[in-house]
Structure 1
Amino acid sequence: MTDADLVGDRIYNPMVAPHKDEPAPLFRMLRDEEPVAYHPVLDAWLVTRYDTVRAVAADPERFSSRYSTPLHPELQQPEVAEVLAGAHPMGTNIVEADGEEHTGLRAVWQHALHGPRVNAFRPAMADIAGELIGAFTGDEADLVGEYAQPFVQSVIGTLLGIPREEWDLAYGYGMDLLDWANPLSPVEDKVAAARRFVESDAYFRALFEQRGRVPGEDIASLLVTSGVSFEDFLMILRTFYAAGIDTTRDAITSTIHSVLRNGLWPSVVADPSMIVAAVEETLRRDAPHRGLLRTTTTAVTLDGVDVPEGARLLLLYGSANRDERRFADPDAFLVTRSGLRGAEGHLGFGHGIHVCVGAHLARTEARVAVEALAQRLPALSLSGGFSPDYVGSFFFRGLARLPVTTG
């Protein structure tokens, strides 16, 4: 594989421009001309239309989730797989479980993230947000690095029971999982991430054993005392960090960016109930998760394209959520848009049995974070000359920075 294989207006690569910043033009072209398009580098078919993405996600019999992410040592280059051979085996990722296995794992996650637990933590979220806003110095701030990132890390770290001084460490271990699994990363970067990933086993083992001896009221303790294996504990905690930080951070910053860019901040300050609609429209327009894979269990025909058994499909939620066949004026940010939740709603959290189990937590975090800013900083505005720059990521779409003037 050469750099040329990964660059070009028609070769989807969210690691680099133009697709890391604005993939919408490519997605529109694919939806119109090649709605199920084979990607030779990823060895997967890109599925881009709303109805097709939704139908695939709703049909686990014909479209297995077993390899819905590249988080498998056997899918890696030999150099990476050799390092990962030294890691403790993890349990099955809920995102990749089918049938009864998925049902059992989902019950564990739902017990950890049930509504009353999340709702009870809402005042603590507001306190975290207020503390971070109070720490802003001067008249400017970066709402990614100084607000959304530490806010979500604090929420997840507190819920899990991770000591405050270890929040950055635990987050880094979660990112190592994604870094070695990224199919578009240089092999030397993947090897380095794999080494750190192996080293992190000892950290999670110590946490598992400590919670077994002295359980608390946190989710890590709940998992241990409920009898989950160390393998499942490893997978669940790493998934909390790998999937639960960046996605929510990006939803928060994208919501704020869209509201400010469209001149809606005074309206949100005057009527905080608008924040609910703003978050949902952001999840549609700027889906924080780029997409997940499915594997065909039989030969199928999708949008007129014959796809063989055993093929991988990359469901591109960001494209589906901008499909003009489902959403009128899809590129616009409209807080008055209806029908964003429910049977025909947006796919920002996926669809079907694998709809995001942390959706309620993520929505609550986003709403609290935006509400706190509206209450404390009514004159908030984008810094002059700001031009959006997005993080190069195979998995997520979010702003690298969000510089604002606070008053």
Structure 2
Amino acid sequence: MGFRFDPEDRGFVDDPYPTYKLLRDAHPVYLHEPSGFTIVTRNEDVTRILNDFETFSSSRGNTLVDSPLRVGKTLGTTDPPRHDELRRVVMKGFTPARIQSMQPAIERDVERLLHDVGGRRECDFMADISRPILYGALGRMLGLDGDAARRAAELSRDLFHAGTGAMGPVSKPGVMEEVFAVLGRQLERRRKDRSDDLFSFLLEAQEAGAPLSDAEILGNMSTVLLAGNASIGHYFSNLIHALWKNPDERRKLLADPTKLDAAVNEAVRWDTSTQAFARHTTKEIALHGVTIPGNSRLAVCYGSANRDERVIADPDRFDIDRGKTRHFGFGSGPHICLGAPTARAMMRTIMTPLLPALGEYELDIAGAERVAHLMVRGFYKLTIRW
């Protein structure tokens, strides 16, 4: 029997990288017949796809099964030139000053949480540390009030955990509609009462003549909320896991905290939370002898490309002294992650006090619950002891 890729296989969910290598070596362009997606895994091909929007378009959505509420309205679901117009407006809300202004509140959240869990010496890293810190930061960035922030957190918690399969929608039916309803109420609130948050900033830009509709404001703020939770939240746990699995690198970092930025960058390459995104072909193309028809849906596997030994030396080794390496932890091309500087700053602010407080921590991997979706790698539950 020939090779059959099963993204729901437990072994793949726990460790996809051996399967990615097999795909890269023997099936670099693989048609997953149950979903209809063509899976692309080599670094050189991912580079080409992400930088050729005319052939590999995002305009039908960048998640495997995207929501009509988002498609054509967000940075991730538009192509240039409209993408570039939106990006010029939205990126002005992610200034270094705005990112820096978040850091004191994040530091207070970390200090409070360490106080709350410190005496227990054990907790669920996701429920007790990761989500509270992240939801607090994203809520403040969006300007969500208490009730809205709590509801947004509840809705975000179940992303990629909908029981719809490893290549299905990111949420259960109705969840995305409720997310947009929560954000829509916030938009109307900020239309009347401005503050120092992204909604207020985008409304002011809109009133000043920026080409930005209300639907596009809501779509892009849903990306901040949902992608922030899915990407940064799961990446946080992946970083903790990477340092636990590689204790010599963890001790190296504890001995020299100036290596923290390098550790963050290596972890986002070695075990990125954003494992894949979708594109569709605008015309027939040939790749590695395989003809891909026009209007085909592609799953572009960042996680595989980040471990491609054709481009990256000894890619399975986690090495915080690796130095600059071209990877796709934050994407590439026109759709390179707008929030990458925010994510890096957040990890730096969180990990600086957290890592020495946890010290020689242990993780209960046997009892952990992992995300089981091709797009995202991370944990829903992860017990940590220190």
Q: Provide the TM-score with structure 2 as the length reference.
A: 0.89
Structure 1, 178-187 or 346-355: larger mean CA deviation: 178-187
* 2:200 is the counterpart of 1:221: yes
1:47 to 11, 30, 40: 40
2:241–2:363 Cα contact (<8 Å) kept: no
2:131 to 149, 152, 168: 149
**Structure 1 unaligned runs (5+)?**
1-7, 75-87
2:362–2:384 Cα contact (<8 Å) kept: yes
2:371 to 388, 391, 397: 391
The 1-side partners of 2:215 and 2:226 are apart by 16
1:71–1:177 Cα contact (<8 Å) kept: no
1:161 maps to what in 2?
Answer: 143
1:84 maps to what in 2?
Answer: none
2:298 maps to what in 1?
Answer: 313
1:45–1:314 Cα contact (<8 Å) kept: yes
The 1-side partners of 2:43 and 2:142 are apart by 35
2:231–2:273 Cα contact (<8 Å) kept: yes
1:118 to 54, 78, 99: 99
Alpha-carbon distance change, 28 to 186 in structure 1, aligned in 2, over 3 angstroms = closer
2:73 maps to what in 1?
Answer: 92
The 1-side partners of 2:41 and 2:216 are apart by 33
1:72–1:181 Cα contact (<8 Å) kept: no
Alpha-carbon distance change, 393 to 70 in structure 1, aligned in 2, over 3 angstroms = closer
2:28 to 35, 44, 61: 35
Alpha-carbon distance change, 383 to 16 in structure 1, aligned in 2, over 3 angstroms = same
The 1-side partners of 2:337 and 2:6 are apart by 24
Q: Secondary structure at the match of 2:174?
A: helix
Q: Per-residue deviation at 1:295?
A: 1.4
1:230 maps to what in 2?
Answer: 214
Q: Per-residue deviation at 1:220?
A: 1.7
The 1-side partners of 2:159 and 2:241 are apart by 29
The 2-side partners of 1:186 and 1:167 are apart by 26
| Cα deviation code 1:374-400 (max 9, x no counterpart) | 2434x3411477565422224310023
Q: Per-residue deviation at 1:144?
A: 1.7
2:271 maps to what in 1?
Answer: 286
Alpha-carbon distance change, 380 to 272 in structure 1, aligned in 2, over 3 angstroms = same
2:64–2:277 Cα contact (<8 Å) kept: no
Matches within 5 A, 1:293-312: 293-312=278-297
2:361 to 352, 367, 381: 381
Q: Secondary structure at the match of 1:46?
A: strand
The 2-side partners of 1:352 and 1:132 are apart by 38
The percentage of counterpart residues that share the same residue type is 28
2:336 maps to what in 1?
Answer: 355
* 2:250 is the counterpart of 1:270: no
Letter of the structure 1 residue corresponding to residue 294 of structure 2: E
2:187 maps to what in 1?
Answer: 208
* 2:40 is the counterpart of 1:56: no
Alpha-carbon distance change, 246 to 171 in structure 1, aligned in 2, over 3 angstroms = same
Alpha-carbon distance change, 295 to 266 in structure 1, aligned in 2, over 3 angstroms = same
1:254–1:282 Cα contact (<8 Å) kept: yes
Q: Secondary structure at the match of 2:379?
A: coil
1:85 maps to what in 2?
Answer: none
Q: Per-residue deviation at 1:51?
A: 0.8
2:167–2:373 Cα contact (<8 Å) kept: no
Q: Per-residue deviation at 1:178?
A: 6.0
Letter of the structure 1 residue corresponding to residue 153 of structure 2: Y
Letter of the structure 1 residue corresponding to residue 240 of structure 2: I
Structure 1, 115-124 or 254-263: larger mean CA deviation: 115-124
Q: Provide the TM-score with structure 1 as the length reference.
A: 0.84
2:209 maps to what in 1?
Answer: none
The 2-side partners of 1:356 and 1:18 are apart by 29
* 2:382 is the counterpart of 1:402: yes
| Cα deviation code 1:70-102 (max 9, x no counterpart) | 45457xxxxxxxxxxxxx787612111111210
* 2:207 is the counterpart of 1:253: no
Q: Per-residue deviation at 1:164?
A: 3.2
Q: Secondary structure at the match of 1:121?
A: helix
1:12 maps to what in 2?
Answer: 6
The number of equivalent residue pairs is 377
Alpha-carbon distance change, 95 to 255 in structure 1, aligned in 2, over 3 angstroms = same
The 1-side partners of 2:29 and 2:167 are apart by 24
The 1-side partners of 2:157 and 2:385 are apart by 30
Alpha-carbon distance change, 199 to 148 in structure 1, aligned in 2, over 3 angstroms = closer
The 2-side partners of 1:311 and 1:366 are apart by 37
Alpha-carbon distance change, 148 to 16 in structure 1, aligned in 2, over 3 angstroms = farther
| Cα deviation code 1:189-239 (max 9, x no counterpart) | 96xx32344345443332111111111111122122322432122212221
Alpha-carbon distance change, 102 to 201 in structure 1, aligned in 2, over 3 angstroms = closer
1:241 maps to what in 2?
Answer: 225
Q: Per-residue deviation at 1:143?
A: 1.8
2:46–2:305 Cα contact (<8 Å) kept: yes
Alpha-carbon distance change, 182 to 108 in structure 1, aligned in 2, over 3 angstroms = farther
Alpha-carbon distance change, 312 to 302 in structure 1, aligned in 2, over 3 angstroms = same
Letter of the structure 1 residue corresponding to residue 266 of structure 2: E
Q: Per-residue deviation at 1:142?
A: 2.3
The 1-side partners of 2:168 and 2:229 are apart by 23
Alpha-carbon distance change, 328 to 145 in structure 1, aligned in 2, over 3 angstroms = same
Q: Per-residue deviation at 1:24?
A: 1.1
